[in-house]
Chains A and B, each alone.
Chain A
Amino acid sequence: MDSLADLATPITMGILYGGLYVVIALGLSLVFGVMKVINVAHGDMVVLGSYIAFVASTSLGIDPILWLVLGIPLFFILGIVIQRFFLYRAFKMSADAALIIAFGLGLIIQNAEQLAWTPLSRSLQTSYSLKSFQIGEVYIPLVYLLDFIAALIIILIIHQFLKRTYLGQAITAASQDRQTAELMGINPARVYQIAFGISMALAAVGGVFLGLTFPFTPTSGVSFLIIAFGVIILGGLGSMTGTFIGGLIFGLSQSLGGTFLGPTGQLLVPFVMVIVILTIRPQGLFGR
């Protein structure tokens, strides 16, 4: 890394594919916000989204992004089912029980994927996978730009949904004060279901862009969970701008980690960042 100019490429790339983490973290934080529970299987659900898109594109020939038209409602419903029949019941027992159940669900997903698609790494190949574009001296793969655009669109949609609809306001209210929300006529169980459904729909989106950006294996999920959690505590729970910037920062850290420390640095740097942030601010940077 001789000069700053050489860093232009990794910096731009990191910021762009950081959009991926924005999408993944947003799903995680919606559920965290209302239920105060981290779905430790969220990363695995994202990777499941990648695999389903993989099947859609390899055996049905559907473009992964186009697949989302079906994938989003499918995952939304899946989310409602999982929430209703598994997580909510565990949640009523204790926070530990919810975490253990989610852990078990993650394990089930991982090993089912391994049975179905082997432990080998896969990626989503499309006609535009190898395309890139040029800004000045810098060549950027097109899919990275797509990650960024997806993040922008998703953030805008979710923001509008939370602000402008009764259901979105119910989710916001329940995140801030569950008991009072109930007094407003909000059924918390229903809010949890909707939030979880949306979280899963976002996992489907995240999964597609993940598959377009990086190779994935059945066990990739944990890394994405950790980074997404890092994004939430860095950006602040419930803050859209925070989540957006947090995601980009983590993308950047991954890209620069890879540049300076080689392949293992790509995850090492973000992971160490998570530990450092958690240590400085054990309840999250915006402490709630």
Chain B
Amino acid sequence: MPEDVLLNVKDIDVFYGTLQILWNVSLEVLTGELVAIAGANGAGKSTLLKTIAGMMHPTTGNIEFLGEDISRKNAYNIVTMGISLVPEGRGLFPEMTVSENLMIGSYNRNARALSKEQLCRVYDLFPILKERKNQMAKTLSGGEQQMLVIGRGLMSNPKLLIIDEMSLGLSPLIVNNLFQVLHEIKEAGVTLLLVEQNVWKTLHEADRAYVIETGRIVMSGDALKLCEEVEIRNAYFGV
């Protein structure tokens, strides 16, 4: 059912200058799915996400979103189309308050009219943000900052929410809570694409998954099946 394909990455090569990072990467995300991308440090996960979000551009191949080629578009146009990237390392605006950080998430013209409702929704998902709304973003704790950037990502009213390394540096308890929220977000009809180092947790939460190794997709499929495969592989190779 091709209508169901929300994001279609087809055979992309991506370079940093002359250094090739991604080789012939293909990936599909269907509407309503939670898809995970797993891989070791430096495998190229963030690069792939940046390319989807338009911060980098592939040299070959293309990226389709809702049937439209977005591989040459700029990041600020892609947000407007409905892809929201929550970047690695919690890129928040440190000298802006929590509520300002959230509101700027609805800067794009498709989200502005809905910003009030979205804000309520985000405060419902993360009540702590409401309590902290007039605090400078830099004064939040690590977990709160992660909630803030996820909330901000939702403010653009995305069809596809992409989160890079959500659980990095957070305690298991907070990570569990965040996954809880992700499910709520998914229930609300937002498709999710996650990158995680925390493979086990993620694979158990996701519908489907891709494993990326030194810039190439080496495995893909049903997340739970992949879990087993990875287990077997690890047993063999002793990683």
Contacts and interface: CB of A to CB of B under 8 A. Distances in A.
A186 B152 CA distance: 14
Interface in A158-192: 166, 169-170, 172-173, 176-177, 179-188
A13 to B, nearest CB: 34
Contacts of A182: 55, 74-76
Say which size band chain A's interface belongs to. Answer: 10 to 19
Contacts of A173: 93, 96, 104
A180 B91 CA distance: 6
Contacts of B107: 166, 169-170, 184-186
A104 B93 CA distance: 34
B139 to A, nearest CB: 14
B112 A183 contact: no
Given A179-B55, A180-B87, A185 B93 contact: no
B85 A183 contact: yes
Interface string B112-141: 100000000000000000000000000000
A64 interface: no
A172 B103 CA distance: 13
Interface string B41-85: 000000000000101000000000000000000111101100011
Count chain B CB atoms within 10 A of each CB in A170, A180, A181 and give the residue with the most: A180
B108 interface: yes
A238 interface: yes
Given A176-B93, A179-B91, A184 B104 contact: yes
Contacts of B77: 185
Nearest to B103: A169
A105 B190 CA distance: 50
B95 A176 contact: yes
18 contacts: A169-B100, A169-B107, A170-B104, A170-B107, A172-B93, A172-B95, A176-B94, A177-B93, A179-B87, A182-B55, A183-B76, A184-B104, A184-B107, A185-B76, A185-B79, A185-B107, A185-B109, A186-B104
